[in-house]
Amino acid sequence: MAEPKTRPTNASVDEFIESVDSPIRREDAKVIRSMFEEITGEPAVMWGDAIIGFGLSEIPYADGSTKEWPRMAFSPRKANTTIYFMEGFDGYQAQLATLGKHKSTHSCLYITNLKNVDLDVLREMLIASNALYV
């Protein structure tokens, strides 16, 4: 199997966050970064050109192989901030119901503005996710 294209880089996380066009996403990224660093105890590292990752984990793939991926990661995208939950959301239904305005897919949580979500609920979800990979 080919190696993943998204790998850790030496790019500056601070410079990346400051380059985010949306002032809302830029400020949300600062809050999320701080929350992730507190929860993981790991520094932020750029993965590729748009993902901010924390820690390192081996993520299993459907074919039985494993690949290195950040233990926790997010990306301040143009339309929203994406927070990655590699384990999916099967164990988070109660939290998602009270989180506030968001969308989700199999392993991505999309938030357009942190002011529209309950940060305590988000923190609870992130702590549970981090615990799966420590």
101: confidence class by pLDDT, cuts 50, 70, 90: very high
Map out the domains of the chain as residue ranges: 13-133
Consecutive H or E run containing 53: strand 51-54
Sequence-distant contacts of 88-94: CB under 8 A, at least 24 apart: 91/128, 92/125, 92/128
Range among 34-48, 49-63, 66-80 rated most confident:
34-48
Per-residue pLDDT, averaged over 1-26, amounts to: 88
Amino acid (1-letter code) at residue 23 = P
105: confidence class by pLDDT, cuts 50, 70, 90: very high
What kind of fold does domain 13-133 have according to CATH?
Aspartate Aminotransferase, domain 1 (3.90.1150)
- CA dihedral (118, 37, 44, 14) in degrees, to 10, reads 70
Q: Is the pLDDT of residue 34 over 90?
A: yes
Q: What is the rounded distance in angstroms from the CA atom of residue 95 to the CA atom of residue 124?
A: 8
Beta bridge partners of 66: 60
Per-residue pLDDT, averaged over 64-70, amounts to: 86
Mean of all residue pLDDT scores within the chain: 93
Q: What percent of the chain has pLDDT over 90?
A: 82
Per-residue pLDDT, averaged over 70-95, amounts to: 95
